[in-house]
Amino acid sequence: MSLDFSFIWTAFVSLLTAVPTTLKITAVSVLCGFAIGTAIALCRMYRVPVLHRIAAAYVTVIRGTPMLTHLLILYFAIPLIVDGLAERFDWAIRSAQIPMIGFAYLSFSITAGAYLSEVVRSGLLAVSKGQMEAAHAVGMTTPQALRRIVFPQAFAAALPNLTNSVIGMLHGSTLAFTVSVVDINAQAEIVATTNWKFFEAYLAAALLFWGMTVLIERLSALLERRVTRYSRGGVA
């Protein structure tokens, strides 16, 4: 068996059908993760009595365990919980009705939340305290000051780390194959096993991921130039 270059293209084309799934998992987990992460970062920064301890524990536990274990635990725990509750309260839903991709969404959002909370926290800490004080001085309330003054600057400061997290989640979405979601990785396996051309199929998948990663990096570089415009210095 030798290398079949034309098959790399064939595999590449058939992998494209799975791109939306991968992107959906990435987008959902990053967006939900960002919301969770922001809430957690604020809890920890403002030391909300009980919540900040829980938040700290959540971040430590999630960051200390592999993403795969989160997915596997939830995959087996959720049906047990849902069915248990449904039986007790006579709900009509059963765990079998939950689509497979739902587990991926939920688990990866939880994972992303912990990682993104650190990103958001470091971004918020990068904004100098004087900005907040100045906002208070001109009469803004704390939520206003956060939204109008602190968040835009924190976003600019956190963008490189945020990009890394997005890429991390994109790469992490390959784990979804363990719960039988057909993402790019699973599609590559299907293409590989049906044609018995493993190397070509995975090469195509690697090239696809590489291209997507480079694209995200480029886009983030463009965005960075836009959002850091306020701090370019100089006079013009």
Partner 1 sequence: MGAQFDIQYVFEYFVKLLPFIQISLFIVASSIVLGLLFGLLAALPRLYRVPVLQRLSQLYASFFRGTPILIQLFLLYYGLPEVLKLVHIDITRLPVLVFVILVYGLHSGAYVSEGIRAAVSAVDRGQVEAAYAVGMNGFQAFTRIVFPQAIAIAVPILANLVIATLKDTSLAFTLGVMELTGKSQTLATMSRHFIESYIALAAVYFILSIALERLFLLAERRMLKHERDTGKTEKVPLGKKWLKKRTNAAIALSKGGTGA
Q: Which of these ranges, 25-33, 69-77, 85-93, 142-150, lies near partner 1 under the rule CB under 8 A?
A: 69-77
**Is residue 141 close enough to count as binding partner 1 by CB under 8 A?**
no
Looking at residues 146 to 185 of the shown chain, list those that interact with partner 1 (rule: CB under 8 A).
160-161, 167, 170-172, 174-175, 185
Amino acid at 207: L
- Residue 126 C-alpha from the chain's centroid: 22
193: enclosing H helix or E strand: helix 184-195
Q: Which of these ranges, 5-13, 128-136, 148-156, 195-203, lies near partner 1 under the rule CB under 8 A?
A: 195-203
Those residues whose C-beta lies under 8 Å from the C-beta of residue 163, and which sit 6 or more positions away, are 216, 217, 220
In this structure, are residues 29 and 183 in contact, taking their beta carbons and an 8 Å threshold?
Answer: no
**Is residue 69 close enough to count as binding partner 1 by CB under 8 A?**
yes
**Is residue 3 close enough to count as binding partner 1 by CB under 8 A?**
yes
Q: What are the phi and psi torsion angles at 180 (to 5°)?
A: 55, 40
CA distance 117 to 46: 14
19, 79, 102, 220: which one binds partner 1 (CB under 8 A): 79
**Is residue 17 close enough to count as binding partner 1 by CB under 8 A?**
no
CB of 196 to partner 1, least distance (A): 11
**Is residue 46 close enough to count as binding partner 1 by CB under 8 A?**
no
Q: Which residue, 40 or 205, is less far from partner 1 as judged by CB?
A: 205
118: enclosing H helix or E strand: helix 100-126
**155, HSE (Cβ side, Cα atoms, 13 Å):** 17
36, 150, 191, 203: which one binds partner 1 (CB under 8 A): 203
CA distance 164 to 87: 43
Residues in contact with partner 1 by CB under 8 A are 1-3, 60-61, 63-70, 72-73, 76-77, 79-80, 95, 160-161, 167, 170-172, 174-175, 185, 188-189, 192, 198-199, 202-203, 205-206, 209-210, 213-214
